[in-house]
Amino acid sequence: MSALFTRTALACMVALSACVAAGAVQAKAKPRKHSKVVPDKAPDVVIYGQREDVMRFAAEAAARRELDVDATRAALAQAKYIPSVARLIMPPPAGTAKNWGAYRSRFVEPVRLKAGAAFWSANEAWLRLAEERYGVPPEIIVGIVGVETIYGQQMGSFRIIDALATLSFDFPAGRKDRSAFFRDELENYLLLCRQQGVDPLSWRGSYAGAIGMPQFMPSSILAHAVDFDGDGHIDLHNNPADVIGSVAHFLSNHGWQRGMPTRYDVSVPVDTAQRALLLAPDILPSFTPQEFAGHGAVLDESGKAHPGKLALVELQNGDAAPTYVAGTENFYAITRYNWSSYYALAVISLGEAIKRQRPPLASEPVPAPALPASAPMAADPVAAVPAQSPASAPEPAASAAPASLPASGVAPMPPAEPASR
Ligand SMILES: [Ca+2]
């Protein structure tokens, strides 16, 4: 990651960390004359229990979410400021060229292809059940879990409470302030831990507070995660069935339409004004195939017959010619998971590549997974948990928070941020 930051940006972040750390220490320490700064390798530590504003937040959050106030204060009192979290949330340096080819090659690669094939084979019955229930095909779910965490291999090592507290109370300057979003996620996290009987200090995940194999933010777990194998618990860290069901349920809740392709091939209009007109709504499907044709875009045969609206999606390739696809509502649904057209096409490409290398379908159907008799799956047990207020969305342009933010180990090549908006 560090290669993505300019020296200046890094210097600013280090200075900021030092300021924040120093601020907390100054409150207690008496000024010393001529004290020397002795360089060491120990991190500057801010324990949020020393911060009045954080303890006030704890009391208010407990009241808002009907949590035990002492337990909430005790948990947040042990949260720590993590300088690397503040660094990792920063966008790539200005002028970093987006490059779909390079981005794709990070995800459609041998390690993920092999792990994806194994994940698919091991969980085929759950993937089929998810498709049956939510209409989301296996390759999309397999693509998402592969891009997010390589099927659980890279789920992030930050304590969730530290990551969320850092971004809630010390969101770095130099980019759009999203601390309100992270404070809401922190509250959701505390609520989630209470609901699941989990110690808030115990869970680890990405620098942005994303959790488990699918890297769900806490609000997404509350709103969309399901106990897909019906064992009475939602486990997104270790239980592939729950992961598969939850990813499918998330997409279903965000407009996924059964049987609809994600995108079609398209040749863009030669006329730059016509092209700009089609690109203007970005990833939001806004034009019928007839309107595409009217503006000079040429869809493939299946695209011409598409019953709904399409988006002309442009993916840059550095100095080379951009890649274009005509995205459907299902392409758009994947961008609700992570607000980036590059992310969506990487998910689709990885899933399709894994599907292509799988052996031909056997004629014998895979038996349905055995479910505990005590926990029938007639309903989605967790889907009943209401989604958080749309006001919690980090960006006003969107109606819901993304399920995840890039995991610490995997994503943020440019574009770490939603590339399309
Ligand atoms: Ca379960």
The CATH number linked to 163 is 1.10.8.350
Instruction: Determine if residue 150 is left, alpha or beta; phi over 0 gives left, psi from -120 to 50 gives alpha, anything else beta.
Output: left
Phi-psi region of 217 (alpha: psi -120 to 50; beta: other; left: phi over 0): beta
Residues 6 or more apart whose Cβ sits within 8 Å of residue 233: 196, 227, 239, 242
CA of 224 to the centre of ligand 1 (A): 13
Residue 145 and residue 273 in one domain: no
Q: How far is the CA of 248 from the centre of ligand 1 (A)?
A: 15
Residue 63 and residue 192 in one domain = yes
**Which of 63-77, 187-201, 300-314, 385-399 shows the lowest mean pLDDT across its residues?**
385-399
pLDDT for residue 3 = 34
- Whether 379 is in a domain gets the answer no
Decide if pLDDT at 99 tops 80.
yes
Question: Do 148 and 50 share a structural domain?
Answer: no
Same domain for 89 and 73:
yes
Contact 76, 46 (CB under 8 A): no
- Tell me the residue type at 80: K
268 and 321 part of one domain: yes
| pLDDT for 420 | 32
162 and 94 within one domain: yes
For the cut 70, the answer to whether the pLDDT of residue 68 exceeds it is yes
Residue 372 resides in a domain = no
pLDDT of residue 191: 98
pLDDT reported for residue 93: 83
Does residue 50 sit in the same domain as residue 63?
yes
Whether residue 70 is found in the same domain as residue 205: yes
- What is the structure's pLDDT at 361? 65
Q: How far is CA 285 from the centre of its chain?
A: 21
Please list, in sequence order, all residues whose beta carbon lies within 8 angstroms of the beta carbon of residue 398, skipping any fewer than 6 positions away. Answer: 336, 339
Q: How many beta carbons lie within 10 A of that of residue 301, not counting itself?
A: 8
More confident residue, 96 or 285: 285
Instruction: Write out the catalytic residue numbers.
Output: 148
Same domain, 69 and 125: no
What's the per-residue H, E or C state across 333-372? HHHHHCCCHHHHHHHHHHHHHHHHHCCCCCCCCCCCCCCC
What pLDDT is recorded for position 225? 98
Q: Would you say residue 216 has pLDDT above 60?
A: yes
**Residue 404 placed within a domain:** no
Q: Which of 35-44, 134-143, 276-285, 320-329 bottoms out in mean pLDDT, i.e. has the lowest?
A: 35-44
Q: Give distance in angstroms: CA of 370 to centre of ligand 1.
A: 13
User: Does any domain span residue 392?
Assistant: no
Task: With a cut of 60, say whether residue 40 has pLDDT above it.
Answer: no
pLDDT of residue 415: 34
Q: Is residue 13 part of a domain?
A: no
Q: Residue 95 has what pLDDT? A: 80
Tell me the two tokens of residue 66. Answer: 């009907």
Please tell me what DSSP assigns to residue 157: -
Q: What is the pTM for the complete model shown? A: 0.79
Residues forming a β-bridge with 263 = 327
248 — phi, psi (to 5°)? Answer: -65, -40
Task: Tell me how crowded residue 37 is: count the other CB atoms within 10 A of its CB.
Answer: 6
Domain-located, residue 225: no
Which range marks the domain in which residue 60 is found? 45-98+157-210
Looking at the predicted structure, is the pLDDT value of residue 7 above 80?
Answer: no
Q: Do 195 and 251 share a domain, yes or no?
A: no
Tally the domains of the chain. 3
Q: Kindly report the average pLDDT of the chain as a whole number.
A: 82
Would you say 65 and 190 are in contact if contact means Cβ atoms under 8 Å apart?
yes
| pLDDT on residue 334 | 98
- What pLDDT shows up at residue 158? 98
CA–CA gap between residue 224 and residue 368 (Å, rounded): 23
Question: Is the domain of 323 the same as that of 276?
Answer: yes
Q: Which helix (H) or strand (E) holds 384?
A: none
Contact 208, 167 (CB under 8 A): yes
Average pLDDT of the segment spanning 185-205: 97
Judge whether residue 105 has pLDDT over 60: yes
Using the predicted structure, report yes or no on whether residue 229 has a pLDDT greater than 60: yes
Whether 173 shows a pLDDT value over 90: the answer reads yes
- The pLDDT of residue 404 is 60
Confidence of residue 94 (pLDDT cuts 50, 70, 90): confident
Quick: pLDDT tens for 351-408.
999 999 988 765 555 555 655 443 333 333 333 223 333 222 233 233 345 566 543 3
Asked, for residue 53, whether it belongs to a domain, the answer is: yes
Cα of 411 from ligand 1 centre, angstroms = 27
* CA 233 / ligand 1 centre spacing (Å): 4
Statement: residue 231 has pLDDT above 80 = yes
Determine the distance separating the centroid of ligand 1 and the alpha carbon of 127, expressed in angstroms: 15
Residues with Cβ within 8 Å of 218's Cβ and at least 6 positions away in sequence, in order, are 160, 164, 185, 186, 188, 189, 191, 192, 209, 211
C-alpha angle 166/383/419, rounded to 5°? Answer: 50
pLDDT one-digit tens code per residue, 108-160? 999 999 999 999 999 999 999 999 999 999 999 999 999 999 999 999 999 99
Largest CA distance in the chain: 82
- CA 42 to CA 48: how far, in whole Å? 18
- For residues 317 and 273, state if they share a domain: yes
pLDDT of residue 33: 43
Q: What is the mean pLDDT of residues 179-189?
A: 98
Q: Is a pLDDT exceeding 60 seen at residue 35?
A: no
Return the CATH number at 339.
1.10.530.10
Contacts of 3 (CB under 8 A, 6+ apart): none
Asked whether residue 382 is domain-assigned, the answer is no
The pLDDT value recorded for residue 307 is: 96
Q: Which two tokens stand for residue 79?
A: 């949260």
Over residues 4-33, the mean pLDDT reads 36
- What separation in Å is there between the alpha carbon of 282 and the centre of ligand 1? 38
Chain segment 293-347, per-residue pLDDT in tens: 999 999 999 999 999 999 999 999 999 999 999 999 999 999 999 999 999 999 9
Give Cα 163 to chain centroid, integer Å: 15
State yes or no: cis peptide before 415, omega within 30 of 0: yes
Residue indicated by tokens 């040429």 = 298
